[in-house]
Amino acid sequence: MAVTLDDLKQHLNVDFDTDDALLTRKLAVATDMIKQKVGGFDKFDGTVPAPLEEAILMYAAHLYANREATTFGGQAFMLPLGVEDLISTYRDGWTY
């Protein structure tokens, strides 16, 4: 995995262990989504570029903070624009 649970916890400023299983799940989803969007990590010779690692952290943090597909009484949130910016140069084509 390009980003570890400890990396994500540091990114989120989480210093407790009670959400570790939840964070691990969010991290796995975020990693898989970014991997799919860029056509896999194999092409990077074993080192995932820092912008993609940051995109994984941002996406996992988004999933952790927004645990439902919709919100009531507020705004709906899409994938953070920063994630798309970070992965754009690594994408294989522009299909979603």
Whether 75 has a pLDDT exceeding 90, the answer reads no
- Please give the Cα distance from 62 to 80 (Å, whole number): 7
pLDDT in tens, 4-22: 999 999 999 999 999 999 9
Q: Which domain holds residue 26?
A: 5-66+75-90
Alpha helix (H) residue ranges in 13-91: 20-38, 50-65, 81-87
61 falls within a domain: yes
Residue 85 inside a domain? The answer is yes
Q: Over 60: is that where the pLDDT of 94 sits? A: no
Residue 84 lies in a domain: yes
Per-position b or e across 46-63, b if 16+ CB within 10 A of its CB: eebbebbbbbbbbbbbbb
Per residue in 19-62, pLDDT (tens digit) is 999 999 999 999 999 998 899 998 888 889 999 999 999 999 98
Whose tokens are 């522009």? That residue is: 94
